[in-house]
């Protein structure tokens, strides 16, 4: 058969370059010493924790070795494309401190290996497919969906491996004339690899994570170009990873089963395969059993979940680091204040099977990380959440940075020695400061004393309050009110003769606290009143009368 002519008929494009040319267009990355890794998502708009986990491994592998981490968009499946998905991937990862050096929508001088959208690389794939046809290593297949289904059913019934191989590869033996007639008749066709492999042969393969794995050689005539001329993942990734000069492909273990196909594709294309690292899936404990995190059942799989709830992004990343490399946790214990980027990440240390994702542990880490933030960092963190997810009132509150910082210093101990350690998410922090603003102050006046007592305390204190008082002068005034309502001014006295009093000085303080904050518990009330200011404090004392 005249293969050259066959290739012309099947791929008649006149604007294709000779495949060898691409070796010059996309030369080896001579200046790069480290790993070249990539994230290669489909632009479906859904980016999940598994993607972040993998992206973090990619980013660390590249950036701990002085390498390059780039973004390639695998948009060969038009149906799954969602507008704005690429920006959303970049934004989501950036939020978690993961930045690309190169790639789709990344403005970088390094962008010489593009285009980084697979749809824009059609010519390259077609040039290589044409070459394979010329070499007798690929052929057209005209089988319809129905025919393929029938073959699959027959194979299933006979308990055989399903697929297009051996005697089931019907179109493998079409003559030139048959092919030409089909093409002329306008029959749609795909291009398949003419596999040279046999399932009799085993290949010993070294995965960067899983170590040595033995796989069976491929004998399937997989589709390389679909009927619309667009490549499949198998074909596109082999060509792209070669010409983008990827050194390490980190991807989910669901791809391990197609590895034999990829090994063969690299071989027929004349490429040296990159190293592969297949990551294990993220699992969670569910009622005593371990199962994969699921998009349907687990909201925590979506990355938006963490942003919306206001998790501290670095906590999420550090938690993922503990899953990525099991010695990371020990390292952080030894280096509590060090940047996680100083840890020596190694792909080989990644877990070989089911990584357990534990939300409680993440919450714990988030609390610790938040409790370490400086005033500025804490403000920026909360404001970041407010800007995106807060109410209009929250947004207005965060315009007054000095005021917020004062509040945070008191509420969370930010900037001081005694830090509050129970805030795990921005949303919680933002709600905690609501009572410092009149428009979100929603008091519940649940006093434990009668109207006369409460109102007397509130009125008397309002008369004596002076914002210039320090803590002890303030407390002396609280004490001074006690006798007027039949409470003990001294705790020792109260403890000795509780029967003589209706309450004690701390009950006076509680009434004031409820009036000012709307709650029976709060941080130091004298400081709160100082932050609110005299006018607002007095207005609250007045409004809190019953």
Residues classed as catalytic:
295
Output 256 or 396, the one with its CB closest to ligand GLU.
256
Choose the binding region for ligand GLU from 36-44, 77-85, 465-473, 497-505 (rule: CB under 6 A). 36-44
Choose among 35, 36, 44: nearest CA to 77.
Answer: 44
Output 249 or 528, the one with its CB closest to ligand GLU.
249
CA distance 530 to 492: 29
Answer for the pair 459, 451: CB distance below 8 angstroms, yes or no.
Answer: no
CB of 240 to ligand GLU, least distance (A): 9
Q: Does 103 bind ligand GLU (CB under 6 A)?
A: no
CA distance 374 to 414: 6
Taking phi over 0 as left and psi of -120 to 50 as alpha, with beta for the rest, 225 belongs to beta
The CB-based long-range contact list for 165-172 (8 Å cut-off, 24+ gap) reads: 165/195, 165/219, 165/220, 165/221, 166/219, 169/141, 169/221, 170/141, 170/143, 171/139, 171/140, 171/141, 171/142, 171/143, 172/139, 172/221
What is the CB neighbour count within 10 angstroms for residue 229?
A: 14
Give bridge partners of residue 250 from the DSSP assignment: 277
Choose the binding region for ligand GLU from 38-46, 145-153, 316-324, 460-468 (rule: CB under 6 A). 38-46
Output 47 or 129, the one with its CB closest to ligand GLU.
47
The 3-class secondary structure across 412-430, one letter per residue, is: CCCCCCCCCCCCCEHHHHH
Q: Does 40 bind ligand GLU (CB under 6 A)?
A: yes
Q: Does 41 bind ligand GLU (CB under 6 A)?
A: yes
Choose the binding region for ligand GLU from 40-48, 150-158, 396-404, 532-540 (rule: CB under 6 A). 40-48
CB of 361 to ligand GLU, least distance (A): 27
Size of the site for ligand GLU (CB under 6 A): 7
Output 55 or 129, the one with its CB closest to ligand GLU.
55
Choose among 227, 222, 202: nearest CA to 214.
Answer: 202
CA distance 208 to 210: 6
Output 42 or 455, the one with its CB closest to ligand GLU.
42
Choose the binding region for ligand GLU from 27-35, 39-47, 63-71, 159-167 (rule: CB under 6 A). 39-47
Q: Does 281 bind ligand GLU (CB under 6 A)?
A: no
Q: Does 42 bind ligand GLU (CB under 6 A)?
A: yes
End-to-end CA distance of the chain: 100
Output 40 or 193, the one with its CB closest to ligand GLU.
40
Among 35, 59, 74, 219, binds ligand GLU (CB under 6 A): 74
Q: Does 237 bind ligand GLU (CB under 6 A)?
A: yes
Q: Does 251 bind ligand GLU (CB under 6 A)?
A: yes
Distance of alpha carbon 225 from the chain centroid: 32
Q: Does 88 bind ligand GLU (CB under 6 A)?
A: no
The interface mask with ligand GLU, positions 499-528, x = CB under 6 A, is ------------------------------
Choose the binding region for ligand GLU from 34-42, 333-341, 369-377, 391-399 (rule: CB under 6 A). 34-42
Choose among 231, 214, 166, 175: nearest CA to 194.
Answer: 166
Query: 299: which residues sit within 8 A by CB, 6+ positions away?
Result: 305
Q: Does 75 bind ligand GLU (CB under 6 A)?
A: no
CA distance 268 to 256: 19
Output 74 or 510, the one with its CB closest to ligand GLU.
74
Answer for the pair 60, 345: CB distance below 8 angstroms, yes or no.
Answer: yes
CB of 218 to ligand GLU, least distance (A): 17
Answer for the pair 139, 152: CB distance below 8 angstroms, yes or no.
Answer: no
- Grouping H, G, I as helix, E, B as strand and the rest as coil, residue 358 is coil
Backbone angles phi, psi at 294, to 5 degrees: -120, 140
CA distance 538 to 209: 65
Distance of alpha carbon 121 from the chain centroid: 28
**DSSP-assigned letter for residue 311:** B
CB of 519 to ligand GLU, least distance (A): 48
Output 19 or 274, the one with its CB closest to ligand GLU.
274
> Which residues contact ligand GLU (rule: CB under 6 A)?
40-42, 74, 237, 249, 251
């Amino acid at each position: 058969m005249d293969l050259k002519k066959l290739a012309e008929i099947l791929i008649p494009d006149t604007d294709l370059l000779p495949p060898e040319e691409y070796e010059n267009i996309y030369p080896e990355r001579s200046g790069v010493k480290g790993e070249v890794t990539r994230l290669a998502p489909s632009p479906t708009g859904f980016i999940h924790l598994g993607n972040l986990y993998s992206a973090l491994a990619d980013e660390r592998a590249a950036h701990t070795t002085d390498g390059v981490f780039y973004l390639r968009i695998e948009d060969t499946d038009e149906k799954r494309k969602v507008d704005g998905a690429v920006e959303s991937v970049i934004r989501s990862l950036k939020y978690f401190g993961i930045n690309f050096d190169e790639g789709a929508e990344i403005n970088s001088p390094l962008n010489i290996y593009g285009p980084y959208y697979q749809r824009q690389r059609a010519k390259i794939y077609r040039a290589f497919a044409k070459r394979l046809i010329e070499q007798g290593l690929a052929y057209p297949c005209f089988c319809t969906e129905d025919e393929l289904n029938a073959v699959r059913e027959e194979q299933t019934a006979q308990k055989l491996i399903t697929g297009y191989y051996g005697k089931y590869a019907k179109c493998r033996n079409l003559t030139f004339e048959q092919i030409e007639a089909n093409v002329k008749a306008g029959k749609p066709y795909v291009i398949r690899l003419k596999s040279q492999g046999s399932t009799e042969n085993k290949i010993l393969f070294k995965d960067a994570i899983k170590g040595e794995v033995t796989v069976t050689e491929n004998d399937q005539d997989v589709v390389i170009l679909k009927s619309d001329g667009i490549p499949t993942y198998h074909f596109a990734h082999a060509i792209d990873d070669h010409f983008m000069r990827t050194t390490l492909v980190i991807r989910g273990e669901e791809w391990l089963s197609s590895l034999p196909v990829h090994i063969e594709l690299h071989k027929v294309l004349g490429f040296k395969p990159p190293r592969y690292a297949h990551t294990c899936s993220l699992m969670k404990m569910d009622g005593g059993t371990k199962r994969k995190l699921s998009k349907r059942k687990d909201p925590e799989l979506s990355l938006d979940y963490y942003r919306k709830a206001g998790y501290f992004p670095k906590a999420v990343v550090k938690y993922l680091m503990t899953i990525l490399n099991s010695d990371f946790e020990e390292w952080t214990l030894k280096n509590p204040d060090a940047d996680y980027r100083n840890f020596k990440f190694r792909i080989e240390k990644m877990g070989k099977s089911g990584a357990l994702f534990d939300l409680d542990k993440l919450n714990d880490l988030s609390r610790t990380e938040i409790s370490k933030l400086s005033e500025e960092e804490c403000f920026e963190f909360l404001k970041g959440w407010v800007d995106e997810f807060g109410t209009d009132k929250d947004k207005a509150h965060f315009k007054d940075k000095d005021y917020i910082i004062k509040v945070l210093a008191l509420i969370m101990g930010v900037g001081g020695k005694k830090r509050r350690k129970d805030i795990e998410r921005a949303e919680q922090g933002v709600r905690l400061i609501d009572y410092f603003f009149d428009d979100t102050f929603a008091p519940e006046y649940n006093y434990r004393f009668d109207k006369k007592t409460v109102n007397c305390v509130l009125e008397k204190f309002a008369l004596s309050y002076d914002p210039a008082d320090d803590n002890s002068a303030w407390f002396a005034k609280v004490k001074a009110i006690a006798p007027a309502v039949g409470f003990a001014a001294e705790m020792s006295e109260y403890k000795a003769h509780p029967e003589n009093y209706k309450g004690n000085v701390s009950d006076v303080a509680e009434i004031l606290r409820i009036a000012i904050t709307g709650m029976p518990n709060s941080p130091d009330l004298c400081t709160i009143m100082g932050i609110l200011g005299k006018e607002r404090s007095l207005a609250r004392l007045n409004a809190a009368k019953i």
